[in-house]
Structure 1
């Protein structure tokens, strides 16, 4: 397994000398060394765990990757499927600082890809950000402003650790759900479960390079993509390796002539 350097919480930059003719402090833009950040959100049963694992396997290109599992070992049910091999770290407390520590350990172990299944627990699970805010607020007489003053930096540090991990990161998130009445093929109205926004801080999906949502029929819709090949794609029963990991790797490795 290739060893990766430990994460450093700062923006990815290059230290090359400026090319001739560029202004002081500016350098030629390049994707060299960039790693993908992919989020998948969906309702229970939409296939986000399997799809996330297959994307991670494709990005790992045959190397074992790591999975930070908050779903009672659900990811392990897929080990060996289509040759996928990975190591897991089981978690039952979801303090954002614990995720930071897990990412640091994964970097030291040299995992080229880390999958987090799921990131939602670190928002609303036991000791997650919302728990931290409530505990802090209770120390100040229920003052929610004081609670968020402590909780927000924890959340921000966690996101920064994800963004600066020295390998690829694939994170799943649960979606808030509701039932709506829709007309079926027989013309009858029936309740249908639909996904809402991710169960995480509002807008967190836009911290990622590629953000997708999946519905109960295993249809994937790209919400946001910096990878042009995936822009506004809708995929039925997607193959994570072929349909997502490959175009992502092709994009990251393509650099126009300087």
Structure 2
């Protein structure tokens, strides 16, 4: 174990937007992405609705149709990463959970075939975790929209009469998904956003409409900090190790960085083995 001083590093955005249908999730996500700057890619699960906002600015689309499997989401994210996009909008993440062919649907079909509930979730949970990992480890900014469970409440209008009002509830996603994001914004039917979770402290107590300025504000916060280590930096730290103890420490950090990437792990292992051979006196096992 290593004790080190806390240090905030530059980071990529992990933002969730939850809202009822018609509250402006896609519109808000695009404006925020334009404020972040760079190439914007949108994963569209809404049957082409992503094209309706082409007048707002330049962005590209990968469409996903049912069944909404986790693999389709992760492949789309990877395609945008490899093409050099700065921001990936997942619109909407709810389909991966509750859509046709999503995780809930898959779990239900397994139960229908006689698989007990515990065994079914033992299969579904790793798939869900792989989607979370794809978002958290992406080199792109990730903005994920989620449908909110809808409920009508009665409120008194200016004439003193009761009238129904549609409000947003919890996001349609696996319970606890909102905790995976740096910022979680809830948007109401008047397009007003508030933060239910905010590690940046930028939106504490604020009620606002999401726009390009929101993206610029977040970008400034994300760029404040030290540069995070990259692949080449970890290789250099392994090569520079001057003892077996420091080599072990460098390799553990590199291995954690490569988590989930077998090719990168193999490269770090090869570098470690080569340096270990150099540091080990001849004839010593």
TM-score, normalisation: structure 2: 0.75
Which whole-Å CA distance do the structure 2 matches of 1:174 and 1:130 have between them? Answer: 15
Tell me the alpha carbon deviations over residues 127-150 of structure 1, each in whole angstroms, 9 at most, x when there is no partner: 1010121222233x1522121111
Aligned positions of 1:141-220 closer than 5 A = 141-220=114-193
Aligned positions of 1:126-145 closer than 5 A = 126-139=100-113, 141-145=114-118
Contact kept in structure 2, 1:44 and 1:174, CA below 8 Å: yes
Aligned positions of 1:24-43 closer than 5 A = 24=2, 26=4, 29-32=7-10, 34-43=11-20
Aligned positions of 1:73-112 closer than 5 A = 73-81=48-56, 84-93=57-66, 94-112=68-86
How far did 1:202 drift?
1.2
TM-score, normalisation: structure 1: 0.83
SS in 2 for 1:251: helix
The RMSD of aligned alpha carbons is 1.6
Which whole-Å CA distance do the structure 1 matches of 2:124 and 2:174 have between them? Answer: 11
Which whole-Å CA distance do the structure 1 matches of 2:65 and 2:88 have between them? Answer: 18
Q: 1:48 aligns with which of 8, 20, 25?
A: 25
Structure-2 residue corresponding to 1:72? 47
Residue 252 (str. 1) matches residue 225 (str. 2): no
Tell me the alpha carbon deviations over residues 147-195 of structure 1, each in whole angstroms, 9 at most, x when there is no partner: 1111111111101111111110011000011111111111100111111
Which whole-Å CA distance do the structure 1 matches of 2:205 and 2:131 have between them? Answer: 28
Which whole-Å CA distance do the structure 2 matches of 1:227 and 1:73 have between them? Answer: 33
Contact kept in structure 2, 1:35 and 1:252, CA below 8 Å: yes
How far did 1:24 drift?
4.5
Q: 2:98 aligns with which of 97, 106, 124?
A: 124
Larger Rg: 2
Runs of 4+ in 1 over 4 A off after TM superposition: none
Which structure carries more relative contact order (alpha carbon 8 Å, separation 6+)?
Answer: 1
SS in 1 for 2:21: coil
Structure 1: where are the runs of 5+ without partners? 1-22
Structure 2: where are the runs of 5+ without partners? 227-285
Contact kept in structure 1, 2:99 and 2:105, CA below 8 Å: yes
